[in-house]
Amino acid sequence: MTDFDPRTEFDRQLHNLLELGYPAQLREQLADLRELAVRAGDTAPDPDAGRVPFLLVVTRAVAPIEEMMPRTTLAGKKKPGFVDRLFEPGSLERFVTTPAAALPGHDGYLLFGVERGEEFCGVVPNDAMDVIAGRERTLLTIEEGIALITHFPQILVKNKCFSLGGSRSTDRRVPAIWISQLAPKLGWCWAGNPHTWLGMASATGRAAG
């Protein structure tokens, strides 16, 4: 038996968002998702292994990406996360959710069965995305990647960073989060270029109230 309670974990994540300055009305807007967290079962998060049973995700309707990243830090650190300057002005708005990763909620929702995906470190991103699709898993979006390190900063560690193939533009760039200057950085890599320190994050599905 485990002492893990998904309702308690949901409350922790919601409180975390409010403590970080997200709008207070989220407490009421997202309250119905609490019981949906039970779908995750009684498996506790294991950030060291890169696995989380569920994440409470807020969308760009709540805050733009440029405001989300500075609310993240590395575990035990204070330096805020940031967006790579290689995202030219206005480009983040063009990185939208792919049809395969369709979002179920306007302001927020739950993401289930999250994996950091370090097994794909050193794998060409296009190939990793094909494997994940074959497993009938869904790729994480930019917002979901930010939610992952917001609620579990210890999951972002050296040589186990991750791409976010659920958000794409009209080019070959794949968003990713890694460590730079002792802080989380949202950047991008080419879909055909592998990196030994960059895997591909995925999940089993999404749900909203």
pLDDT in tens, 29-58: 999 999 999 988 889 999 999 999 999 999
Over pLDDT 70: what percentage of the chain?
Answer: 99
Does residue 142 lie in a domain region? yes
Which pair of structure tokens corresponds to residue 137? 């898993």
Does residue 140 lie in a domain region? yes
Cα–Cα dist 165/98, whole Å: 8
CB 152 within 8 A of CB 47: yes
Strand partners, 205: 112
- Count of the separate structural domains present in the chain: 1
CA angle 39, 206, 51 (to 5 degrees): 70
Does residue 73 lie in a domain region? yes
Whole-model pTM? 0.97
Does residue 53 lie in a domain region? yes
CB 181 within 8 A of CB 88: no
Cα–Cα dist 98/52, whole Å: 22
pLDDT digits over 85-112, tens only? Answer: 999 999 999 999 999 998 998 899 999 9
Does residue 101 lie in a domain region? yes
pLDDT at residue 1, as a whole number: 42
Cα–Cα dist 78/7, whole Å: 28
Domain span including residue 143: 6-207
Does residue 181 lie in a domain region? yes
Does residue 1 lie in a domain region? no
